[in-house]
A and B are shown apart, each in its own frame.
Chain A
Amino acid sequence: MTAVSETEQLRYISQQAADARVNVEIETEGMTLNLGPQHPATHGTLRIIAKLDGEQVVAAEPVMGYMHRGYEKLAEVRTYPQVTTLVNRIDWVGSFANETPFILAAEKLMEIEAPPRAQYIRTILHEMSRIANVILGIGDMGVQVGAVTPIFFAFRDREYVLNQIEAVTGGRFHPNFDRIGGLKDDLPAGWIQNTKNAMEKVREFCDQIEELMYGNEIFQARTRGIGIIPADIGLSYGLSGVNIRGSGVDWDVRRDATPHGLVYDKADWKVWTHPDGDSYSRMWVRLQEVREGTKIVDQLLDDIPSGPIMAKVPRIIKVPAGEAYVETENPLGVMGYYVISKGDLNPFRVKIRSASFNNVSITPWLLKGVYVPDIITILGSLYFILGDIDR
C-alpha cells in the first residue's frame, strides 16, 4: 500500500509544481544538503540530510540523538516522585503535560485516585500547558514560512499563560507540580479570575493570528496541498494528536479514552478535524485546538469542586508490582508511559512513548519529492520539540 500512495504523492507533486519542473530534465549534479544540527529551521538539534536534485528532495533522512538524555534509563534509578522532575524536560514547552501521564500510571498501579479538586486542577493545568505549547508552535510556523511577526505575538500572549502556571506551580518552564495522589499545592487566591483573563487574551491571539497568518494568501499558497499525509499512512506511522486529526481522523484521547484522573468529560468541547491532511490543515486544527483549550479551562474553572487536593498516600511511595500503560493527549500528540514496577521505590522499567518521535518518523516518507523550502514548512507544520524526540 505504501508504494501506491508514494507514487500518488509524487504524481501529485509533479502536477502541482509543473511550472517549476522544467529544469528537472536537465542533468544537474546531485547535491547533498545538510540541514542542521545547527540550523535555524530545525528549532533544536535535529539534523536532516537531504539529497537534492536541483531544489527537489530525492531522499531525506533525519538524524537525531544530539540531545538524547536517556530518561528511560535514568528513571530506573529514581524514585517515583523524582521521575516527574525528569519527564518535565521531555517537552519543555508544555512541561506539565509530561508529568500527568506518568503520575496517572503510578496512581493506576497503586490503585489510588486523586481527589476531585486535584483532578480538576490537573486537567486545567494540562490544558494550559497545551495552550502555552501550541501558541508557540503557531508562531513558530510563521517563522518557518518567513514571517517574523507572529512569533513575537506568540511569545507575548504565551506570557499570560506562563504567568498563571507560574503563579500556581512556582515554575514557568518546569512546574514539577504533579504528585502521586494529587498536587503539591492548592490554587493561590485570585488565580481563577486571572486565568480567565489570560484565556481571553489567548482567544484574542487566536483571532489575530487567524487574520494575520492563516488568512494570508502566501501562507495558504505555502501550506495548502503541501506535505499531505493520508490517514492510513499516518496511523501506521503512529502519528497522533493534531497531526493525525489534520488528516481527518477523528480521534482524541481526551474524548475517546480519557485516563482515569482527568475530567475532560466534565466540560463541553469539540474535537476538530480537517480532511485535507496537508500542512495548512494541521496548523488550522492546531489553532482550533487552542480555542477549545481555552473553553475547557474556562468551564472547568467555573466548577472546580472544593475539598482536599491530596489523597492519602504513604510518605515513602512504594508502587506495587505490575504493569500499566497510561496515555494522554499532550500538546504534541499522544504521550504514554508504560511503567513496570516490581514493588520498589523506583520503577523497574519506564517506556516513554513520546509523540514527536512517531510524528517525525514519517519525514523520510513525507519529504520525498518536495522542494527545499517545503521541508521547512512541513517540519514546521508537524511541530515537534527536540526533547520529545530524543528523550
Chain B
Amino acid sequence: MSGWIDTFFDSYWGPTGLRTLGGLVAVLLPAGALVYIYLFKLMSFVQSRIGPMEAGPQGSLQLLAEVGKAFQKEDIFPRKADKIVFALAPFVVLMSTFLLVLVVPFGPDAWFVNLDTGIYFALAVSSVSVIGILMAGWASASKYSLLGGLRAAGQLIAYELPLVLAVMGVVIQAGTLNMQDIVLAQAEGEIFGWGGIGNPFILTQFVGFAIFLIAMQAELTQPPFDMPVAESELVSGYMTEYSGVRFLLFFIGEFATAGVFAMIASVLFLGGWWVPGIDPDSNLFNIVGPAVMFGKVLFVTLLIFWFRFTYPRFREDQLQRLCWKFLIPISLLNIVVTGVLKVVF
C-alpha cells in the first residue's frame, strides 16, 4: 500500500468518507437492481407483458432513463403548501433508510458500525420515516395527501409492534442484539447437535419470520397493505403532490427501504452474509459476503414483490384488525414458546 492511502485510512475523515460512500452504494445499488428485476421485469412477466425493452439490452438502462426524466421535470410546489416542510419531507423518509443500513453487516469485517444494540437501533430508526410521511401528507395541502399521510402513520405505528415482537424471538435465541453476533450465532448454531448447515433462524423461528415478513410488507406500504398510496382511492396518497426529483426520492425510498429491510430480514433469519460450508471467520466472506447478502435480499424481496403483484388491498380497519387480533397475539406466543424452549434446551 502506498503512503497516501495509509495516511488516508489512518485519519478519521478518510474512513468516515468511505463509510458514507459505502452506505450510498449499499442503499442505492440494491434499490436500482430491485426496480429493474422486479418492478420492470418480474411484474411484466406476471402480467403477461414484456416490460421495458428499448433502453439498453433488455431494457436494463430504463432506470437511468427514468431518473433522467425525473431530473428534467419541474419541481412543483402546490401554492398553498407549507414550502419548507414540503421540501424536506422526502429527505426525512430517505434518511431513515440510510440510518437503517448502518447496522447491517456484510461480512465478518465488512460493516459500517458494529453496535451492540444493532437490531434495536435499526427498529428505532425505521420509525423515523413516519415523520417524513406525515410531513409530506400535511404540507401538501391536499386532502388525498393528508388522508394518505394519516393512514400511513396509523399503519406504520401499528405494525412496528409485530415487527419488534417478531425480532424478539430471534434475539432470545441468539442471546444478543448485535447483528454481527446474530449472524455468528446462526453460523455456529446446531440443530439437535448437527451443525452441518448451522442454524438459520428461519428454521427455528419460522413463525417469527412469517410475522416479520407480513409486518415488513406493511411497514413498506406494499400491497396488500398499500392503503397510504392506494392509487384507486387516494391517487398516490402522501406522494400525490410531488413531482420531479422529490417524487424520485420517495420512489427510491420505497425500493431502498425494501432492500434494506430485506437485508435485515436475511441477517435475522437467513444467516446474513454467511453460507454453510465455509468457516464464518474466513476472510473470503469479506469479499463474497456482500454478494451472498444480495442473493438473500433478492430472495426476500421476491416474496415482497410477489405479494405486491398478486394481492388486492386490505381496508384500513381490516389491516388494524389483522395486526392487533392476529399478528400480535401470535408473536407474543412465539416469544413465550421461544423463551421456554431456550431455557429447556
Where the two chains meet, the residues of A that have a C-beta atom closer than 8 Å to any C-beta of B are: 17, 19-20, 31, 33-34, 39-41, 55, 142-149, 152-153, 156, 212-213, 216, 218-219, 221-222, 371-376, 380
Are A144's CB and B232's CB within 8 A?
yes
Shortest CB distance B44–A (Å): 9
For residue B224, CB closer than 8 A to chain A, the reply is: yes
Contact with A along B222-243 (1 / 0, CB 8 A): 0110110011111100000000
Known: A145-B313, A146-B223, A212-B310. 19 other contacts (CB 8 A): A20-B316, A20-B320, A40-B235, A55-B147, A144-B232, A145-B232, A148-B309, A149-B46, A213-B312, A218-B312, A221-B318, A222-B313, A222-B315, A222-B318, A371-B317, A372-B233, A373-B316, A374-B315, A376-B232
Where the two chains meet, the residues of B that have a C-beta atom closer than 8 Å to any C-beta of A are: 43, 46-49, 143-144, 147, 223-224, 226-227, 230-235, 309-318, 320-321
Q: Per a CB cutoff under 8 Å, which of B312, B316, B318, B321 touches A147?
A: B312
Expressed in whole angstroms, the Cα–Cα distance for A144 and B313 within the complex equals 9
A-B contact count (CB 8 A): 89
Expressed in whole angstroms, the Cα–Cα distance for A376 and B226 within the complex equals 15
Residues of the A chain whose Cβ atoms lie less than 8 Å from the Cβ of B48: 152-153, 156
Q: Which 4 A-B pairs have the closest CB atoms?
A: A146-B313, A20-B317, A152-B47, A145-B312
Q: Per a CB cutoff under 8 Å, which of B224, B233, B320 touches A19?
A: B320
Expressed in whole angstroms, the Cα–Cα distance for A146 and B237 within the complex equals 13
Are B232's CB and A40's CB within 8 A?
yes
Expressed in whole angstroms, the Cα–Cα distance for A200 and B182 within the complex equals 54
Are B315's CB and A147's CB within 8 A?
no
Q: Per a CB cutoff under 8 Å, which of B46, B143, B311, B318 touches A216?
A: B311
Residues of the A chain whose Cβ atoms lie less than 8 Å from the Cβ of B224: 146, 218
Shortest CB distance B308–A (Å): 8
B227, B311, B320 interface centre (most CB from chain A within 10 Å): B311
Shortest CB distance A391–B (Å): 25
Expressed in whole angstroms, the Cα–Cα distance for A302 and B47 within the complex equals 34
Are B315's CB and A149's CB within 8 A?
no
Q: Per a CB cutoff under 8 Å, which of A31, A40, A375 touches B231?
A: A40
Expressed in whole angstroms, the Cα–Cα distance for A55 and B314 within the complex equals 15
Residues of the A chain whose Cβ atoms lie less than 8 Å from the Cβ of B49: 152
Q: Per a CB cutoff under 8 Å, which of A40, A149, A218 touches B314?
A: A218
Expressed in whole angstroms, the Cα–Cα distance for A230 and B341 within the complex equals 54
Residues of the B chain whose Cβ atoms lie less than 8 Å from the Cβ of A20: 316-317, 320
24 contacts between A and B (CB under 8 A): A19-B320, A33-B144, A34-B143, A41-B233, A55-B147, A145-B312, A147-B223, A147-B310, A148-B43, A152-B47, A156-B48, A216-B311, A218-B312, A218-B314, A221-B314, A222-B312, A222-B314, A222-B318, A371-B317, A372-B234, A373-B227, A373-B316, A376-B232, A376-B233
Known: A152-B47, A372-B147. A19 touches B312 (CB 8 A): no
Residues of the A chain whose Cβ atoms lie less than 8 Å from the Cβ of B313: 145-147, 218, 222, 373
Are A149's CB and B317's CB within 8 A?
no
Expressed in whole angstroms, the Cα–Cα distance for A373 and B151 within the complex equals 12
Shortest CB distance A83–B (Å): 35
Are A149's CB and B310's CB within 8 A?
yes
Expressed in whole angstroms, the Cα–Cα distance for A39 and B47 within the complex equals 23
Residue of A nearest to B227 (CB): A373
Expressed in whole angstroms, the Cα–Cα distance for A264 and B333 within the complex equals 60
Residues of the A chain whose Cβ atoms lie less than 8 Å from the Cβ of B314: 218, 221-222
Residues of the A chain whose Cβ atoms lie less than 8 Å from the Cβ of B232: 40-41, 143-146, 376, 380
Are B223's CB and A19's CB within 8 A?
no
Expressed in whole angstroms, the Cα–Cα distance for A41 and B46 within the complex equals 23
Shortest CB distance A72–B (Å): 32
Shortest CB distance B200–A (Å): 29
Q: Per a CB cutoff under 8 Å, which of A153, A219, A373 touches B233?
A: A373
Expressed in whole angstroms, the Cα–Cα distance for A149 and B308 within the complex equals 10
Expressed in whole angstroms, the Cα–Cα distance for A213 and B309 within the complex equals 12
Residue of A nearest to B143 (CB): A33
Residues of the B chain whose Cβ atoms lie less than 8 Å from the Cβ of A39: 235
Residues of the B chain whose Cβ atoms lie less than 8 Å from the Cβ of A222: 312-315, 318
Expressed in whole angstroms, the Cα–Cα distance for A222 and B319 within the complex equals 11
Shortest CB distance A121–B (Å): 31
Expressed in whole angstroms, the Cα–Cα distance for A143 and B147 within the complex equals 20
Are A371's CB and B312's CB within 8 A?
no
Residues of the B chain whose Cβ atoms lie less than 8 Å from the Cβ of A372: 147, 233-234
Expressed in whole angstroms, the Cα–Cα distance for A222 and B321 within the complex equals 13
Are B143's CB and A31's CB within 8 A?
yes
Residue of A nearest to B229 (CB): A146
Expressed in whole angstroms, the Cα–Cα distance for A156 and B47 within the complex equals 9
Shortest CB distance B45–A (Å): 11
Residues of the A chain whose Cβ atoms lie less than 8 Å from the Cβ of B144: 33
Residues of the B chain whose Cβ atoms lie less than 8 Å from the Cβ of A221: 314-315, 318
Residues of the A chain whose Cβ atoms lie less than 8 Å from the Cβ of B46: 149
Q: Per a CB cutoff under 8 Å, which of A34, A146, A152 touches B226?
A: A146
Are B317's CB and A147's CB within 8 A?
no
Are A19's CB and B310's CB within 8 A?
no
Shortest CB distance A93–B (Å): 18
Shortest CB distance A276–B (Å): 18
Expressed in whole angstroms, the Cα–Cα distance for A375 and B234 within the complex equals 11
Residue of B nearest to A34 (CB): B143
Expressed in whole angstroms, the Cα–Cα distance for A375 and B233 within the complex equals 8
Expressed in whole angstroms, the Cα–Cα distance for A146 and B233 within the complex equals 9
Expressed in whole angstroms, the Cα–Cα distance for A374 and B316 within the complex equals 10
Q: Per a CB cutoff under 8 Å, which of B234, B312, B317 touches A219?
A: B312
Q: Per a CB cutoff under 8 Å, which of A146, A153, A156, A218 touches B230?
A: A146
Residues of the A chain whose Cβ atoms lie less than 8 Å from the Cβ of B317: 17, 19-20, 371
Expressed in whole angstroms, the Cα–Cα distance for A152 and B314 within the complex equals 21
Residues of the B chain whose Cβ atoms lie less than 8 Å from the Cβ of A213: 312
Residues of the B chain whose Cβ atoms lie less than 8 Å from the Cβ of A148: 43, 47, 223, 309
Residues of the A chain whose Cβ atoms lie less than 8 Å from the Cβ of B231: 40
Are A373's CB and B315's CB within 8 A?
yes
Residues of the B chain whose Cβ atoms lie less than 8 Å from the Cβ of A55: 147, 316
Shortest CB distance A147–B (Å): 4
Expressed in whole angstroms, the Cα–Cα distance for A147 and B46 within the complex equals 12
Shortest CB distance B226–A (Å): 6
A41, A146, A149 interface centre (most CB from chain B within 10 Å): A146
Expressed in whole angstroms, the Cα–Cα distance for A144 and B46 within the complex equals 19
Residues of the A chain whose Cβ atoms lie less than 8 Å from the Cβ of B147: 33, 55, 372
Expressed in whole angstroms, the Cα–Cα distance for A369 and B321 within the complex equals 19
A142, A371, A373, A380 interface centre (most CB from chain B within 10 Å): A373
Residues of the A chain whose Cβ atoms lie less than 8 Å from the Cβ of B316: 20, 55, 371, 373
